[in-house]
Amino acid sequence: MATGLIALLDDVIAICKVAAASIDDVGAQALKASSKAAGVVIDDAAVTPRYVVGFAADRELPIVGKIALGSIKNKLLFLLPVAMLLSAFAPWAITPLLMFGGLFLCYEGAEKLLEAIAPHSAHEHEQEIGLDQQDPKHLEKQKIAGAIRTDFILSAEIMAIALATIPEAGFVSQLMSLIVVAVGITVSVYGVVALIVKADDLGVRMAQSSMGLVRVGGHGLVAAMPVVLRILSVVGTAAMLWVGGGIVVHGLETFGFGALAHLIHDAASLVSGGQAVIDWLVNTLLTCIFGTIAGGLIIPVVSKVIVPVVKRLKVILINSRPAN
């Protein structure tokens, strides 16, 4: 009896060791995957604050919270199951889907660029696609929905990069690693976003302090935040064009149309003269230019083709419903 109990305890200890090793593997794989997706994570953090700009201070954190909740739903409820299924049964479909998402990011970025350069044209485009509502509650819902749509594409890229980083892992290990990546990145990104959008409120409180140094720092923070938010808005737009354009260029190369990727690479190498930083900057600039062109071409397609078709389908669906 005692011998049997000792043998059972040995088995339990062995199982615990295996479980601990598996947890360590998941942690290591999640860290590896997160580091590979770091560029997209930075883009995500830069893009999101612009969706909060212009709202009352008491609405900022609730909006960030709703976007974060939408982000975690994107990753865990939609992208995670799809990523696992595609990885198992249709890995060939991942690149086309990412390219479609990349084109959407190019469209979003080009639309924001149009808004900055030609506000009148941007307003006309918003009227055509039905986004010119001025009601604050409706506007907030639109902004949140837009942020969650953009997050969906960025999250898809993050999950795809993470999955590609750990292809040799087993199904359970992949699943757990992707869950850790999804939760960890979402908390990190939207924690940083919350700090950014509330920094001006912190500055106001610091400016009311009786301590001279803290008060001066508070005034400086209040003065700096509008500039920081404008910079982040520019960075966020550029990030969408860069990431979206990069996804499309890489996808074309994957399918054998590598001329554009080679042209960008060769041009960057020629200008940089072997300097890694300059090479990256030129590569990024050229990718942004491509993303801007691609997004600019999509804008009239969305307003003149896609939106009318969607509206027509809605009318057909409404008319096809049986009368009460």
Range with lowest mean pLDDT among 49-63, 136-150, 199-213, 244-258: 49-63
Task: Confirm whether 2 is domain-assigned.
Answer: no
3, part of any domain:
no
Whole-angstrom distance, CA of residue 15 vs CA of residue 188: 33
Residues in Cβ contact with 50 at an 8 Å cutoff, skipping those fewer than 6 apart: 112, 229, 232, 233, 236, 237
Whether residue 295 has pLDDT greater than 50: yes
pLDDT at residue 267, as a whole number: 92
The closest alpha carbon to 268, from 259, 258, 281, 250, belongs to 281
pLDDT tens-digit series, residues 90-129: 888 888 888 888 898 899 889 888 888 876 665 566 666 6
pLDDT over 90 (residue 259): yes
In a domain, 31, yes or no: yes
Specify the pLDDT at position 17. Answer: 42
Of the given ranges (84-88, 218-222, 232-236, 292-296), which has the lowest mean pLDDT? Answer: 232-236
Of 8-22, 146-160, 274-288, which gets the smallest average pLDDT? 8-22
Query: Would you say residue 202 lies in a domain?
Result: yes
**Under a CB-based contact definition with an 8 Å cutoff, are residues 76 and 182 in contact?**
yes
Confidence of residue 54 (pLDDT cuts 50, 70, 90): low
- Reported confidence tier of residue 143, pLDDT bands at 50, 70, 90: confident
Residue with token string 């910079």? 231
Cβ-based burial of 286 (10 A; exposed 0-12, middle 13-18, buried ≥19): buried
Q: pLDDT at position 90, please? A: 84
Contact yes or no for 273/281 (Cβ under 8 A):
no
Inform me whether the pLDDT recorded for 320 exceeds 50.
Answer: yes
Q: Summarize the confidence of residues 167-181 as an average pLDDT.
A: 77
**Alpha-carbon span 158 to 180, nearest angstrom:** 12
Q: Quick one: pLDDT band at residue 12, thresholds 50, 70, 90?
A: very low
pLDDT confidence of 30, banded at 50, 70, 90?
very low
> If DSSP codes are grouped into helix, strand and coil, which group holds residue 169?
coil
Long-range Cβ contacts of 278-287 (<8 Å, 24+ apart): 284/242, 287/241, 287/242, 287/245, 287/246, 287/249
Concatenated DSSP letters for 217-231?
HHHHHHHHHHHHHHH
Identify whether 1 is part of a domain: no
Tell me the pLDDT band of 48, cut-offs 50, 70 and 90: low
Tell me which residue range forms the domain holding 255.
8-320
Whether 145 shows a pLDDT value over 50: the answer reads yes
For residue 246, tell me if it sits in a domain: yes
CB environment 246-271: b (16+ within 10 A), e (fewer): bbbbbbbbeeeeeebbeebbeebeee
Instruction: Give pTM, 2 decimals.
Output: 0.70
In a domain, 60, yes or no: yes
Tally of domains in the chain: 1
- Secondary structure letter of residue 303 according to DSSP: I
28 within a domain of the structure (yes/no) = yes
